[in-house]
Amino acid sequence: MPTYPDCDDYHFRLNTQLWPIHLKPKPDELLSSWIIRLAHAHGYKSQTMCVFLFGRQEPIWNRDIDRLASPEIGDKLMAATGATLQQFENTTFKGYEGWLYQSHQPNGMTRWIIPIGIYHRTRRRPGLAFCPKCLAEDAEPYFRRQWRLAFSTVCTKHRCHLLDACPSCQSPVILHRTDMQSKDFFPTEGLLVHCWKCGFKLSQSHTEEESHIQLIDFQFRLEKVLKQGFVSWAGNPSMHSVMFFQGLRDMIAGFISKVSLQRLRRSSILDDIDLSGWVKSGLEMSPIGTRRAMFLFLARLLEEWPDSFTNHIRKCDLRYSDLRGDTDYRPFWYEDVIRRESLGGFAKISQLEAESIAAATEKLNGQFSLKRSRELFGRDIAMHVPDRLPKPISEDTYEDLLTSIDHQIAETQDEIKRFSLIRDKIMFATGRQLHLSQTELTNLTLERVRQLVPEVVEKNFAEAARSPAQVRAWIEWYYVKLRPRLNPMSSEDRIFTSMTTRTGLKKSILGVRFQAAVNVGMMHRTIGSYRDWTRKPLQLAN
Protein backbone atom coordinates (compact mmCIF):
# COMPACT_ATOMS: atom_id res chain seq x y z
CA MET A 1 0.00 0.00 0.00
CA PRO A 2 1.57 3.33 -1.03
CA THR A 3 2.15 5.97 1.67
CA TYR A 4 2.44 9.71 1.11
CA PRO A 5 3.74 12.67 3.11
CA ASP A 6 0.96 14.16 5.22
CA CYS A 7 1.21 17.79 4.20
CA ASP A 8 -1.09 20.32 2.56
CA ASP A 9 1.55 21.30 0.01
CA TYR A 10 1.74 17.75 -1.28
CA HIS A 11 -2.06 17.56 -1.56
CA PHE A 12 -2.14 20.85 -3.46
CA ARG A 13 0.43 19.61 -5.95
CA LEU A 14 -1.49 16.36 -6.47
CA ASN A 15 -4.65 18.39 -7.05
CA THR A 16 -3.09 20.34 -9.90
CA GLN A 17 -0.99 17.74 -11.70
CA LEU A 18 -1.04 14.20 -13.01
CA TRP A 19 -1.44 11.65 -10.25
CA PRO A 20 1.13 8.87 -9.70
CA ILE A 21 -1.25 6.17 -11.00
CA HIS A 22 -2.87 7.28 -14.27
CA LEU A 23 -6.00 5.19 -13.87
CA LYS A 24 -8.25 5.42 -16.95
CA PRO A 25 -11.87 4.26 -17.03
CA LYS A 26 -12.43 0.74 -18.28
CA PRO A 27 -14.77 0.03 -21.23
CA ASP A 28 -18.30 1.19 -20.36
CA GLU A 29 -17.33 1.93 -16.75
CA LEU A 30 -19.58 4.11 -14.61
CA LEU A 31 -18.11 7.38 -13.37
CA SER A 32 -18.80 6.44 -9.73
CA SER A 33 -16.99 3.13 -10.21
CA TRP A 34 -14.00 4.87 -11.82
CA ILE A 35 -13.75 7.47 -9.02
CA ILE A 36 -13.73 4.78 -6.34
CA ARG A 37 -11.12 2.67 -8.14
CA LEU A 38 -8.98 5.79 -8.53
CA ALA A 39 -9.23 6.53 -4.80
CA HIS A 40 -8.44 2.96 -3.76
CA ALA A 41 -5.50 2.76 -6.17
CA HIS A 42 -3.90 5.69 -4.30
CA GLY A 43 -4.71 4.37 -0.84
CA TYR A 44 -7.60 6.74 -0.15
CA LYS A 45 -11.18 6.06 0.82
CA SER A 46 -13.54 7.53 -1.76
CA GLN A 47 -14.93 10.30 0.45
CA THR A 48 -11.44 11.42 1.49
CA MET A 49 -10.22 11.60 -2.09
CA CYS A 50 -13.33 13.45 -3.30
CA VAL A 51 -12.99 16.15 -0.64
CA PHE A 52 -9.33 16.53 -1.47
CA LEU A 53 -9.70 16.43 -5.28
CA PHE A 54 -13.00 18.27 -5.79
CA GLY A 55 -13.26 20.32 -2.59
CA ARG A 56 -15.80 20.25 0.22
CA GLN A 57 -18.10 22.60 -1.69
CA GLU A 58 -18.59 20.09 -4.54
CA PRO A 59 -21.23 17.50 -3.55
CA ILE A 60 -20.45 14.08 -4.95
CA TRP A 61 -22.25 11.31 -3.13
CA ASN A 62 -25.41 13.16 -2.08
CA ARG A 63 -26.58 13.16 -5.70
CA ASP A 64 -26.51 10.88 -8.74
CA ILE A 65 -22.99 11.70 -9.87
CA ASP A 66 -23.22 9.45 -12.95
CA ARG A 67 -26.09 11.62 -14.19
CA LEU A 68 -25.16 15.03 -12.76
CA ALA A 69 -21.37 15.25 -13.07
CA SER A 70 -20.32 18.84 -13.76
CA PRO A 71 -17.67 19.86 -16.33
CA GLU A 72 -15.48 20.95 -13.39
CA ILE A 73 -15.46 17.39 -12.04
CA GLY A 74 -14.47 16.16 -15.47
CA ASP A 75 -11.66 18.73 -15.74
CA LYS A 76 -10.14 17.64 -12.42
CA LEU A 77 -10.39 13.94 -13.20
CA MET A 78 -8.83 14.45 -16.63
CA ALA A 79 -5.99 16.48 -15.12
CA ALA A 80 -5.35 13.81 -12.48
CA THR A 81 -5.48 10.79 -14.79
CA GLY A 82 -4.67 12.02 -18.29
CA ALA A 83 -8.05 10.73 -19.51
CA THR A 84 -9.61 12.40 -22.56
CA LEU A 85 -12.89 14.31 -22.60
CA GLN A 86 -14.44 11.46 -24.59
CA GLN A 87 -13.34 8.93 -21.98
CA PHE A 88 -14.84 11.06 -19.20
CA GLU A 89 -18.16 11.64 -20.99
CA ASN A 90 -18.44 7.93 -21.75
CA THR A 91 -18.59 7.24 -18.00
CA THR A 92 -21.66 9.50 -17.60
CA PHE A 93 -25.16 9.41 -19.03
CA LYS A 94 -24.50 12.54 -21.05
CA GLY A 95 -22.46 10.22 -23.25
CA TYR A 96 -25.75 8.66 -24.39
CA GLU A 97 -26.95 11.99 -25.80
CA GLY A 98 -27.80 11.60 -29.48
CA TRP A 99 -27.62 7.82 -29.18
CA LEU A 100 -30.26 6.76 -26.64
CA TYR A 101 -32.15 10.04 -26.31
CA GLN A 102 -32.10 13.35 -28.12
CA SER A 103 -30.77 15.40 -25.22
CA HIS A 104 -29.57 14.56 -21.73
CA GLN A 105 -31.81 15.90 -18.96
CA PRO A 106 -29.68 16.18 -15.82
CA ASN A 107 -32.64 17.31 -13.71
CA GLY A 108 -35.63 15.10 -13.10
CA MET A 109 -36.17 11.65 -14.58
CA THR A 110 -34.03 10.67 -17.55
CA ARG A 111 -35.62 8.25 -19.97
CA TRP A 112 -34.08 4.77 -19.99
CA ILE A 113 -31.94 5.49 -16.88
CA ILE A 114 -32.87 3.65 -13.66
CA PRO A 115 -33.04 6.21 -10.80
CA ILE A 116 -31.21 5.56 -7.56
CA GLY A 117 -33.78 7.38 -5.41
CA ILE A 118 -31.62 9.70 -3.33
CA TYR A 119 -33.43 11.14 -0.31
CA HIS A 120 -31.46 12.96 2.40
CA ARG A 121 -28.23 11.34 1.11
CA THR A 122 -29.80 7.88 1.37
CA ARG A 123 -30.21 5.79 -1.77
CA ARG A 124 -33.49 4.00 -1.44
CA ARG A 125 -33.88 2.37 -4.84
CA PRO A 126 -32.00 -0.50 -6.52
CA GLY A 127 -30.70 1.76 -9.27
CA LEU A 128 -27.57 -0.20 -10.17
CA ALA A 129 -27.69 -3.79 -11.39
CA PHE A 130 -24.73 -6.13 -11.77
CA CYS A 131 -23.68 -9.45 -13.25
CA PRO A 132 -21.89 -11.56 -10.60
CA LYS A 133 -20.10 -13.53 -13.31
CA CYS A 134 -18.70 -10.39 -14.93
CA LEU A 135 -17.44 -9.12 -11.56
CA ALA A 136 -15.89 -12.51 -10.78
CA GLU A 137 -14.24 -12.66 -14.20
CA ASP A 138 -12.77 -9.13 -14.15
CA ALA A 139 -9.06 -8.90 -13.35
CA GLU A 140 -10.00 -5.65 -11.62
CA PRO A 141 -13.76 -5.63 -10.98
CA TYR A 142 -15.76 -2.57 -12.02
CA PHE A 143 -19.40 -1.58 -12.60
CA ARG A 144 -20.73 -0.98 -16.10
CA ARG A 145 -22.70 2.07 -17.19
CA GLN A 146 -24.98 -0.23 -19.17
CA TRP A 147 -26.14 -1.87 -15.93
CA ARG A 148 -28.20 1.24 -15.14
CA LEU A 149 -30.21 1.10 -18.36
CA ALA A 150 -33.86 0.11 -18.15
CA PHE A 151 -33.51 -2.49 -20.90
CA SER A 152 -30.47 -4.17 -19.28
CA THR A 153 -32.04 -7.06 -17.38
CA VAL A 154 -29.77 -9.94 -18.43
CA CYS A 155 -26.07 -10.38 -19.16
CA THR A 156 -25.79 -11.21 -22.84
CA LYS A 157 -22.25 -12.53 -22.33
CA HIS A 158 -23.03 -15.02 -19.57
CA ARG A 159 -26.74 -15.50 -20.48
CA CYS A 160 -27.89 -14.96 -16.92
CA HIS A 161 -30.09 -12.57 -14.96
CA LEU A 162 -28.68 -9.31 -13.69
CA LEU A 163 -29.20 -8.68 -9.97
CA ASP A 164 -29.96 -5.28 -8.46
CA ALA A 165 -29.58 -5.97 -4.74
CA CYS A 166 -27.38 -7.91 -2.37
CA PRO A 167 -28.76 -11.47 -2.24
CA SER A 168 -27.78 -11.72 1.42
CA CYS A 169 -29.48 -8.63 2.89
CA GLN A 170 -31.45 -7.25 -0.11
CA SER A 171 -29.78 -3.83 0.16
CA PRO A 172 -29.30 -1.83 -3.05
CA VAL A 173 -25.78 -1.55 -4.45
CA ILE A 174 -24.21 1.69 -3.18
CA LEU A 175 -20.62 1.78 -4.36
CA HIS A 176 -19.24 4.68 -2.34
CA ARG A 177 -20.47 3.30 0.97
CA THR A 178 -18.37 0.14 0.70
CA ASP A 179 -15.30 1.80 2.18
CA MET A 180 -17.29 4.08 4.50
CA GLN A 181 -18.47 1.03 6.45
CA SER A 182 -14.95 -0.41 6.58
CA LYS A 183 -13.08 0.10 9.87
CA ASP A 184 -9.72 -0.14 8.11
CA PHE A 185 -7.83 3.13 7.67
CA PHE A 186 -6.87 2.18 4.12
CA PRO A 187 -9.34 0.55 1.71
CA THR A 188 -8.68 -3.16 1.26
CA GLU A 189 -8.32 -4.83 -2.12
CA GLY A 190 -11.58 -5.91 -3.76
CA LEU A 191 -13.74 -3.78 -1.45
CA LEU A 192 -15.71 -2.39 -4.40
CA VAL A 193 -17.54 -5.68 -5.00
CA HIS A 194 -18.68 -6.17 -1.40
CA CYS A 195 -22.12 -5.23 -0.09
CA TRP A 196 -21.81 -1.97 1.83
CA LYS A 197 -24.24 -3.15 4.51
CA CYS A 198 -23.48 -6.81 5.26
CA GLY A 199 -20.13 -7.28 3.52
CA PHE A 200 -21.30 -10.11 1.24
CA LYS A 201 -19.11 -10.50 -1.85
CA LEU A 202 -21.40 -9.64 -4.78
CA SER A 203 -19.21 -11.49 -7.27
CA GLN A 204 -20.15 -14.72 -5.48
CA SER A 205 -23.90 -14.14 -5.84
CA HIS A 206 -25.99 -16.90 -7.37
CA THR A 207 -27.90 -15.83 -10.45
CA GLU A 208 -30.35 -17.72 -12.65
CA GLU A 209 -29.65 -18.61 -16.24
CA GLU A 210 -31.98 -16.92 -18.72
CA SER A 211 -33.96 -19.62 -20.50
CA HIS A 212 -35.50 -17.39 -23.18
CA ILE A 213 -33.04 -17.04 -26.02
CA GLN A 214 -35.37 -14.43 -27.57
CA LEU A 215 -34.75 -12.06 -24.68
CA ILE A 216 -30.97 -12.49 -24.80
CA ASP A 217 -30.88 -11.92 -28.56
CA PHE A 218 -33.18 -8.90 -28.28
CA GLN A 219 -31.09 -7.21 -25.58
CA PHE A 220 -27.92 -7.98 -27.53
CA ARG A 221 -29.48 -6.19 -30.49
CA LEU A 222 -30.43 -3.18 -28.35
CA GLU A 223 -26.87 -2.98 -27.03
CA LYS A 224 -25.55 -3.10 -30.60
CA VAL A 225 -27.93 -0.34 -31.75
CA LEU A 226 -26.79 1.85 -28.85
CA LYS A 227 -23.11 1.34 -29.73
CA GLN A 228 -23.56 1.94 -33.47
CA GLY A 229 -26.06 4.79 -33.32
CA PHE A 230 -28.21 3.32 -36.08
CA VAL A 231 -30.18 0.19 -36.94
CA SER A 232 -31.50 -1.47 -40.07
CA TRP A 233 -35.20 -1.46 -39.29
CA ALA A 234 -38.62 -1.15 -40.94
CA GLY A 235 -37.16 -0.85 -44.43
CA ASN A 236 -34.64 1.80 -43.38
CA PRO A 237 -31.03 0.52 -43.54
CA SER A 238 -29.73 3.26 -41.24
CA MET A 239 -32.49 4.40 -38.89
CA HIS A 240 -31.17 6.72 -36.18
CA SER A 241 -30.95 4.93 -32.84
CA VAL A 242 -32.86 7.70 -31.02
CA MET A 243 -35.87 7.18 -33.31
CA PHE A 244 -35.73 3.43 -32.74
CA PHE A 245 -35.57 3.70 -28.95
CA GLN A 246 -38.31 6.35 -28.92
CA GLY A 247 -40.58 3.96 -30.83
CA LEU A 248 -39.96 1.25 -28.25
CA ARG A 249 -40.92 3.68 -25.47
CA ASP A 250 -44.17 4.56 -27.23
CA MET A 251 -44.92 0.90 -27.82
CA ILE A 252 -44.43 0.09 -24.13
CA ALA A 253 -46.65 3.01 -23.08
CA GLY A 254 -49.38 1.77 -25.44
CA PHE A 255 -49.31 -1.85 -24.35
CA ILE A 256 -49.07 -1.33 -20.60
CA SER A 257 -52.49 0.30 -20.20
CA LYS A 258 -55.17 -1.70 -18.41
CA VAL A 259 -57.32 -1.90 -21.54
CA SER A 260 -54.44 -3.10 -23.73
CA LEU A 261 -53.36 -5.77 -21.23
CA GLN A 262 -56.92 -7.07 -20.99
CA ARG A 263 -57.19 -7.30 -24.78
CA LEU A 264 -53.77 -8.97 -25.06
CA ARG A 265 -55.05 -11.83 -22.89
CA ARG A 266 -56.97 -12.97 -25.99
CA SER A 267 -53.60 -14.04 -27.38
CA SER A 268 -51.16 -16.56 -25.91
CA ILE A 269 -48.28 -14.06 -26.01
CA LEU A 270 -48.64 -13.18 -22.31
CA ASP A 271 -49.29 -16.71 -21.03
CA ASP A 272 -45.85 -17.05 -19.41
CA ILE A 273 -45.20 -13.34 -18.83
CA ASP A 274 -45.96 -11.64 -15.51
CA LEU A 275 -46.34 -7.86 -15.70
CA SER A 276 -48.19 -7.52 -12.39
CA GLY A 277 -45.23 -5.68 -10.85
CA TRP A 278 -45.47 -2.82 -13.33
CA VAL A 279 -45.83 0.55 -11.60
CA LYS A 280 -47.81 3.52 -12.87
CA SER A 281 -44.77 5.78 -12.89
CA GLY A 282 -43.36 3.75 -15.75
CA LEU A 283 -40.54 1.65 -17.10
CA GLU A 284 -37.65 3.04 -15.07
CA MET A 285 -39.48 2.67 -11.75
CA SER A 286 -40.58 -0.93 -12.32
CA PRO A 287 -38.67 -3.83 -10.70
CA ILE A 288 -35.97 -5.54 -12.74
CA GLY A 289 -37.97 -8.78 -12.95
CA THR A 290 -40.96 -6.94 -14.38
CA ARG A 291 -38.77 -5.10 -16.86
CA ARG A 292 -37.26 -8.43 -17.88
CA ALA A 293 -40.77 -9.73 -18.59
CA MET A 294 -41.64 -6.59 -20.57
CA PHE A 295 -38.62 -6.92 -22.85
CA LEU A 296 -39.35 -10.60 -23.43
CA PHE A 297 -42.82 -9.49 -24.52
CA LEU A 298 -41.31 -6.88 -26.87
CA ALA A 299 -38.84 -9.43 -28.24
CA ARG A 300 -41.74 -11.61 -29.32
CA LEU A 301 -43.70 -8.72 -30.80
CA LEU A 302 -40.75 -7.42 -32.81
CA GLU A 303 -39.33 -10.76 -33.91
CA GLU A 304 -40.60 -10.42 -37.48
CA TRP A 305 -41.55 -6.76 -37.74
CA PRO A 306 -44.23 -5.81 -38.54
CA ASP A 307 -45.96 -9.16 -39.17
CA SER A 308 -45.84 -10.56 -35.63
CA PHE A 309 -46.91 -7.19 -34.23
CA THR A 310 -49.84 -6.67 -36.62
CA ASN A 311 -51.05 -10.24 -36.12
CA HIS A 312 -51.46 -9.55 -32.41
CA ILE A 313 -53.14 -6.20 -33.06
CA ARG A 314 -55.76 -7.93 -35.18
CA LYS A 315 -56.17 -10.94 -32.93
CA CYS A 316 -56.62 -8.78 -29.84
CA ASP A 317 -58.66 -6.04 -31.56
CA LEU A 318 -56.32 -3.31 -30.31
CA ARG A 319 -57.23 0.24 -31.29
CA TYR A 320 -55.13 3.21 -32.31
CA SER A 321 -56.05 4.96 -29.07
CA ASP A 322 -54.74 1.93 -27.15
CA LEU A 323 -51.40 1.85 -28.95
CA ARG A 324 -50.36 5.45 -29.44
CA GLY A 325 -48.76 5.87 -26.00
CA ASP A 326 -48.62 9.18 -24.15
CA THR A 327 -46.74 11.47 -26.57
CA ASP A 328 -47.91 13.78 -29.34
CA TYR A 329 -45.17 12.62 -31.68
CA ARG A 330 -44.37 9.00 -32.50
CA PRO A 331 -41.56 7.91 -34.84
CA PHE A 332 -42.85 7.12 -38.31
CA TRP A 333 -41.83 3.45 -38.20
CA TYR A 334 -44.25 2.86 -35.31
CA GLU A 335 -46.92 5.44 -36.12
CA ASP A 336 -47.28 4.19 -39.69
CA VAL A 337 -48.00 0.62 -38.61
CA ILE A 338 -50.43 1.34 -35.77
CA ARG A 339 -52.32 3.93 -37.81
CA ARG A 340 -52.60 1.68 -40.84
CA GLU A 341 -53.57 -1.40 -38.87
CA SER A 342 -55.79 0.23 -36.25
CA LEU A 343 -57.46 2.87 -38.41
CA GLY A 344 -56.91 2.19 -42.09
CA GLY A 345 -56.95 -1.56 -41.60
CA PHE A 346 -60.65 -1.67 -40.79
CA ALA A 347 -63.25 -2.48 -43.42
CA LYS A 348 -64.68 0.56 -45.18
CA ILE A 349 -67.16 2.40 -43.05
CA SER A 350 -70.50 3.46 -44.52
CA GLN A 351 -71.85 6.99 -44.47
CA LEU A 352 -74.62 5.90 -42.10
CA GLU A 353 -72.10 4.34 -39.69
CA ALA A 354 -69.96 7.48 -39.80
CA GLU A 355 -72.93 9.72 -38.99
CA SER A 356 -73.88 7.42 -36.10
CA ILE A 357 -70.33 7.62 -34.70
CA ALA A 358 -70.35 11.41 -35.07
CA ALA A 359 -73.69 11.71 -33.27
CA ALA A 360 -72.58 9.39 -30.47
CA THR A 361 -69.31 11.31 -30.03
CA GLU A 362 -71.21 14.60 -29.83
CA LYS A 363 -73.53 13.17 -27.20
CA LEU A 364 -70.71 11.74 -25.08
CA ASN A 365 -68.30 14.64 -25.51
CA GLY A 366 -70.69 17.60 -25.53
CA GLN A 367 -69.51 18.56 -29.01
CA PHE A 368 -68.08 16.72 -31.98
CA SER A 369 -64.34 16.09 -31.99
CA LEU A 370 -62.63 13.99 -34.64
CA LYS A 371 -59.86 13.10 -32.19
CA ARG A 372 -62.40 11.99 -29.56
CA SER A 373 -64.34 9.90 -32.08
CA ARG A 374 -61.13 8.03 -32.95
CA GLU A 375 -60.43 7.41 -29.27
CA LEU A 376 -63.95 6.16 -28.56
CA PHE A 377 -64.60 4.06 -31.64
CA GLY A 378 -61.18 3.44 -33.20
CA ARG A 379 -62.40 4.64 -36.62
CA ASP A 380 -61.38 7.58 -38.80
CA ILE A 381 -64.56 9.17 -40.16
CA ALA A 382 -63.02 12.44 -41.39
CA MET A 383 -63.78 11.74 -45.06
CA HIS A 384 -67.44 11.14 -44.27
CA VAL A 385 -68.18 14.21 -42.13
CA PRO A 386 -66.29 17.16 -43.71
CA ASP A 387 -69.02 19.61 -42.69
CA ARG A 388 -68.37 18.88 -39.02
CA LEU A 389 -64.65 19.67 -39.28
CA PRO A 390 -63.13 23.13 -38.74
CA LYS A 391 -62.43 24.99 -41.96
CA PRO A 392 -58.72 24.98 -42.85
CA ILE A 393 -56.91 28.30 -42.66
CA SER A 394 -56.24 29.63 -46.15
CA GLU A 395 -52.83 30.48 -47.59
CA ASP A 396 -53.90 34.13 -47.78
CA THR A 397 -54.60 34.14 -44.03
CA TYR A 398 -51.23 32.48 -43.42
CA GLU A 399 -49.46 35.18 -45.41
CA ASP A 400 -51.46 37.94 -43.68
CA LEU A 401 -50.28 36.82 -40.24
CA LEU A 402 -46.63 36.74 -41.31
CA THR A 403 -47.03 40.17 -42.92
CA SER A 404 -48.49 41.50 -39.67
CA ILE A 405 -45.40 40.25 -37.80
CA ASP A 406 -43.19 41.90 -40.46
CA HIS A 407 -44.89 45.23 -39.71
CA GLN A 408 -44.17 44.81 -35.99
CA ILE A 409 -40.52 44.04 -36.79
CA ALA A 410 -40.22 47.19 -38.91
CA GLU A 411 -41.85 49.40 -36.29
CA THR A 412 -39.79 48.42 -33.23
CA GLN A 413 -36.47 50.02 -32.28
CA ASP A 414 -35.84 47.45 -29.56
CA GLU A 415 -33.25 44.98 -30.85
CA ILE A 416 -34.26 42.15 -28.51
CA LYS A 417 -37.92 42.55 -29.37
CA ARG A 418 -37.05 42.55 -33.08
CA PHE A 419 -35.04 39.33 -32.73
CA SER A 420 -37.91 37.70 -30.82
CA LEU A 421 -40.42 38.69 -33.50
CA ILE A 422 -38.23 37.28 -36.28
CA ARG A 423 -37.96 34.07 -34.26
CA ASP A 424 -41.76 33.99 -33.91
CA LYS A 425 -42.29 34.49 -37.63
CA ILE A 426 -39.99 31.61 -38.55
CA MET A 427 -41.41 29.46 -35.75
CA PHE A 428 -45.04 29.94 -36.80
CA ALA A 429 -44.19 29.33 -40.46
CA THR A 430 -42.40 26.13 -39.45
CA GLY A 431 -45.37 24.88 -37.45
CA ARG A 432 -47.68 25.62 -40.37
CA GLN A 433 -45.61 24.08 -43.17
CA LEU A 434 -44.47 21.00 -41.23
CA HIS A 435 -47.84 20.53 -39.45
CA LEU A 436 -46.24 20.34 -36.01
CA SER A 437 -48.07 20.34 -32.69
CA GLN A 438 -46.97 22.85 -30.06
CA THR A 439 -45.01 20.12 -28.26
CA GLU A 440 -43.29 19.02 -31.47
CA LEU A 441 -42.45 22.60 -32.41
CA THR A 442 -40.95 23.54 -29.04
CA ASN A 443 -38.84 20.35 -29.06
CA LEU A 444 -37.72 20.74 -32.67
CA THR A 445 -33.99 20.43 -33.35
CA LEU A 446 -31.99 21.21 -36.46
CA GLU A 447 -31.21 17.52 -36.88
CA ARG A 448 -34.92 16.71 -36.81
CA VAL A 449 -35.68 19.38 -39.44
CA ARG A 450 -33.07 17.90 -41.74
CA GLN A 451 -34.60 14.45 -41.26
CA LEU A 452 -38.09 15.73 -42.04
CA VAL A 453 -37.01 17.91 -44.97
CA PRO A 454 -34.07 16.46 -46.94
CA GLU A 455 -34.55 18.96 -49.78
CA VAL A 456 -32.31 22.05 -49.70
CA VAL A 457 -33.24 25.33 -51.44
CA GLU A 458 -32.00 28.92 -51.31
CA LYS A 459 -33.61 31.09 -48.65
CA ASN A 460 -36.05 33.75 -49.82
CA PHE A 461 -37.48 36.33 -47.42
CA ALA A 462 -39.26 38.28 -50.17
CA GLU A 463 -42.39 36.19 -49.67
CA ALA A 464 -43.87 33.83 -47.12
CA ALA A 465 -42.37 30.33 -47.01
CA ARG A 466 -44.88 28.10 -48.77
CA SER A 467 -43.15 24.73 -48.62
CA PRO A 468 -41.23 22.63 -46.09
CA ALA A 469 -38.03 23.19 -48.10
CA GLN A 470 -38.42 26.98 -47.91
CA VAL A 471 -39.04 26.75 -44.17
CA ARG A 472 -35.89 24.67 -43.76
CA ALA A 473 -33.92 27.38 -45.62
CA TRP A 474 -35.29 29.98 -43.18
CA ILE A 475 -34.34 27.79 -40.20
CA GLU A 476 -30.80 27.14 -41.48
CA TRP A 477 -30.30 30.91 -41.76
CA TYR A 478 -31.90 31.60 -38.37
CA TYR A 479 -29.84 28.94 -36.60
CA VAL A 480 -26.54 30.44 -37.77
CA LYS A 481 -27.30 34.16 -37.96
CA LEU A 482 -29.96 35.00 -35.38
CA ARG A 483 -30.28 32.24 -32.78
CA PRO A 484 -26.83 32.97 -31.24
CA ARG A 485 -28.01 36.56 -30.61
CA LEU A 486 -30.68 35.16 -28.28
CA ASN A 487 -27.82 33.68 -26.19
CA PRO A 488 -29.01 30.07 -25.72
CA MET A 489 -27.12 27.73 -23.40
CA SER A 490 -24.36 25.81 -25.16
CA SER A 491 -26.01 22.50 -24.25
CA GLU A 492 -29.42 23.56 -25.65
CA ASP A 493 -30.06 22.01 -29.07
CA ARG A 494 -33.70 22.99 -29.54
CA ILE A 495 -34.10 25.55 -32.31
CA PHE A 496 -36.46 28.05 -30.73
CA THR A 497 -35.20 29.37 -27.40
CA SER A 498 -36.10 31.93 -24.78
CA MET A 499 -33.70 34.77 -24.03
CA THR A 500 -34.89 34.75 -20.43
CA THR A 501 -34.25 31.10 -19.58
CA ARG A 502 -31.71 30.46 -22.39
CA THR A 503 -33.42 27.12 -22.95
CA GLY A 504 -36.08 25.93 -25.37
CA LEU A 505 -39.37 27.80 -25.38
CA LYS A 506 -42.06 26.20 -23.27
CA LYS A 507 -45.27 25.04 -24.88
CA SER A 508 -47.26 27.58 -22.84
CA ILE A 509 -45.04 30.47 -24.00
CA LEU A 510 -45.43 29.39 -27.61
CA GLY A 511 -49.21 29.48 -27.19
CA VAL A 512 -49.09 32.96 -25.64
CA ARG A 513 -46.81 34.29 -28.42
CA PHE A 514 -49.03 32.83 -31.13
CA GLN A 515 -52.22 34.24 -29.63
CA ALA A 516 -50.56 37.65 -29.23
CA ALA A 517 -49.57 37.65 -32.92
CA VAL A 518 -53.15 36.76 -33.90
CA ASN A 519 -54.57 39.53 -31.70
CA VAL A 520 -52.15 42.20 -32.97
CA GLY A 521 -53.06 41.25 -36.53
CA MET A 522 -56.77 41.35 -35.56
CA MET A 523 -57.17 37.89 -37.07
CA HIS A 524 -58.94 36.09 -34.22
CA ARG A 525 -62.02 35.54 -36.41
CA THR A 526 -60.06 33.74 -39.14
CA ILE A 527 -57.52 31.89 -36.94
CA GLY A 528 -59.32 30.05 -34.17
CA SER A 529 -56.38 28.25 -32.57
CA TYR A 530 -52.85 27.03 -33.14
CA ARG A 531 -54.27 23.60 -33.97
CA ASP A 532 -56.34 25.17 -36.77
CA TRP A 533 -53.20 26.96 -37.96
CA THR A 534 -51.32 23.68 -38.49
CA ARG A 535 -54.18 21.42 -39.59
CA LYS A 536 -53.63 19.73 -42.94
CA PRO A 537 -56.33 20.40 -45.56
CA LEU A 538 -58.69 17.42 -45.79
CA GLN A 539 -58.26 15.48 -49.04
CA LEU A 540 -61.69 14.13 -49.89
CA ALA A 541 -62.01 10.98 -51.96
CA ASN A 542 -63.63 11.29 -55.40
pLDDT tens by residue, 449-498: 999 999 989 988 888 999 999 999 999 999 999 999 999 999 999 999 99
Q: Are 224 and 312 within one domain?
A: yes
Say what the pLDDT of residue 436 is: 93
How far apart are the C-alpha atoms of 253 and 282, rounded to whole Å? 8
Task: Tell which residue, 500, 498, 497, 456, has the closest CA to residue 474.
Answer: 456
Local structure of residue 342 (DSSP, 8 states): I
Say what the pLDDT of residue 7 is: 42
Last residue of a domain, one of 342, 365, 388: 388
380 has pLDDT over 90: no
Question: What is the average per-residue pLDDT within 367-387?
Answer: 72
> What pairs with residue 163 in β-bridges?
130
282 has pLDDT over 70: yes
Q: Are 421 and 477 within one domain?
A: yes
Q: Are 181 and 246 within one domain?
A: no
Mean pLDDT of the chain: 86
pLDDT tier, 14 (very low <50, low <70, confident <90, very high otherwise): low
Single-letter amino acid code for the residue at 4: Y
Q: Are 127 and 159 within one domain?
A: yes
Residue at 336 is within a domain: no
Buried b (16+ CB within 10 A) or exposed e, 331-343: bbbbbebbbebbe
Residue at 120 is within a domain: yes
pLDDT tier, 542 (very low <50, low <70, confident <90, very high otherwise): very low
Residue at 497 is within a domain: yes
Residue at 326 is within a domain: no
2 has pLDDT over 60: no
Last residue of a domain, one of 316, 339, 360: 316
Residue at 18 is within a domain: yes
Question: What is the average per-residue pLDDT within 94-117?
Answer: 86
pLDDT tier, 377 (very low <50, low <70, confident <90, very high otherwise): low
Say what the pLDDT of residue 100 is: 93
Residue at 276 is within a domain: yes
Task: Tell which residue, 441, 432, 440, has the closest CA to residue 496.
Answer: 441
pLDDT tier, 343 (very low <50, low <70, confident <90, very high otherwise): low
Residue 120: which residues within 8 A CB-CB, separation 6 or more? none
Say what the pLDDT of residue 505 is: 94
Q: Are 366 and 264 within one domain?
A: no
Q: What share of the chain is helix, strand, coil (3-state, %, to 5)?
A: 50, 5, 45
Omega within 30 of 0 (cis) for the link into 306? yes
Residue at 297 is within a domain: yes
Q: Are 71 and 119 within one domain?
A: yes
End-to-end Cα separation, the chain, in angstroms: 85
Say what the pLDDT of residue 28 is: 97
Q: Are 138 and 217 within one domain?
A: no
How far apart are the C-alpha atoms of 79 and 71, rounded to whole Å? 12
Q: Are 54 and 117 within one domain?
A: yes
Task: Please answer whether residues 250 and 327 qualify as being in contact, where contact means their C-beta atoms are separated by less than 8 angstroms.
Answer: yes
Say what the pLDDT of residue 401 is: 93
Total number of domains constituting the chain: 4
Say what the pLDDT of residue 245 is: 94
Say what the pLDDT of residue 347 is: 42
pLDDT tier, 5 (very low <50, low <70, confident <90, very high otherwise): very low
The highest-confidence range among 117-126, 159-168, 382-391, 523-532, by mean pLDDT, is: 159-168
Last residue of a domain, one of 155, 173, 204: 204
Residue 456: which residues within 8 A CB-CB, separation 6 or more? 469, 472, 473
Residue 371 structural domain:
351-388
How far apart are the C-alpha atoms of 500 and 143, rounded to whole Å? 40
Q: Are 158 and 100 within one domain?
A: yes
Residue at 217 is within a domain: yes
Q: Are 239 and 279 within one domain?
A: yes
The percentage of the chain sitting over the pLDDT mark of 70, rounded to a whole number, equals 90
Half-sphere exposure (Cβ direction) of 101: Cα atoms closer than 13 Å: 16
Say what the pLDDT of residue 4 is: 44
Say what the pLDDT of residue 357 is: 74
Q: What residue spans of 304-453 are helical by DSSP H?
A: 307-316, 320-323, 332-339, 351-365, 370-377, 395-411, 415-434, 438-442, 446-452
Instruction: Count helices and strands (H / E) in the chain.
Output: 23, 6
Q: Are 195 and 250 within one domain?
A: no
Q: Are 505 and 360 within one domain?
A: no
